[in-house]
Structure 1
Amino acid sequence: MPERPEIVCICGSMRFIEDMRVVSQSLTLAGAIVLMPAEMDTPITDEQKAVLGELHLRRIDLANRVVVVNRGERIGEFTTREIEYARATGKPVTFVGPVYGDA
């Protein structure tokens, strides 16, 4: 493992949380520090959603690179914002397709 592990931020729709977990486990076992969206088990307000969105941008700030988890569907507004933000701050962005269950 390198002296200072790479920090990777996972982005994507919460519809793909199972895929995100698989990607997180794989990256962690490869020696990376993984940052990903917080999971909520109760409905959240629009205000809370905005706060969580800003927190995720700060995760991107901390990361060396961003991995977007997507199942080949249209990328939504929040994930598009995160991709644009990452690219604007010079973070490499890669995409991962279906990794869990049916595509």
Structure 2
Amino acid sequence: MSYPQPLGPEERLADAKRLSGLPPIVVLCGSTRFMALMSEAEVRETEAGRIVVKPGVDLKSAQELRSDPVEAAALKARLDELHRAKIRLADEVLVVGDYVGDSTRAEIAYARSLGRPVRFTHPGVDPGA
């Protein structure tokens, strides 16, 4: 007699979201130089009935917190890990902007490795196309 395998954390999260009736969750990815475009995308996605998660810190803007290069590098590493957690939480990814740098390319690859659908505001920048 075989017994069902226990669900892993990803499956438990998907079940919990489905059972709770949550709307789809979309995470916005892209260079923080596109923060204004991300805000516009947030409005469109919210109007479409999706929960939107996006970067919370713009590393491109000058702030005293990032004046020390060692602290700035550590902050970037923590923010990258946090954004990967947002990708795991999301049902899909929306890449914003007409440029895809190394960090965004890595986020796209990570999302696709998890089986998350990836959409683009500018489809011509899809590194997988």
TM interval, short-chain normalised: 0.7 to 0.9
Q: Which runs of 5+ in 2 are unaligned?
A: 1-20, 67-71, 123-129
> Which residue is 1:81 aligned to?
106
Distance apart, 1:88 and its partner CA = 0.2
Distance 1:4 1:35 in 2: 14
Report the RMSD for the aligned CA atoms in angstroms: 1.3
TM-score after normalising by structure 2: 0.68
Q: Which has the higher strand share?
A: 1
SS of equivalent residue, structure 2 residue 106: helix
Deviation by residue 1:9-45 (Cα, 9 ceiling, x = unmatched)? 0000001110000000111121110000013462530
1:62 aligns with 2:89: yes
1:37 aligns with 2:62: no
> Which residue is 2:12 aligned to?
none
> Which residue is 1:6 aligned to?
24
> Which residue is 1:17 aligned to?
35
SS of equivalent residue, structure 2 residue 55: coil
Q: How many correspondences in the alignment? A: 93
Moved over 4 A (4+): none
Q: Give the letter aligned to residue 26 of structure 1.
A: R
Q: Which has the higher contact order (CA 8 A, sep 6+)?
A: 1
Q: Compare CA radii of gyration and give the structure with the larger one.
A: 2
Q: Which has the higher helix share?
A: 2
Percent of counterpart pairs with the same letter?
Answer: 41
SS of equivalent residue, structure 1 residue 27: helix
1:46 aligns with 2:73: yes
Distance 2:33 2:54 in 1: 14
Q: Give the letter aligned to residue 58 of structure 1.
A: A
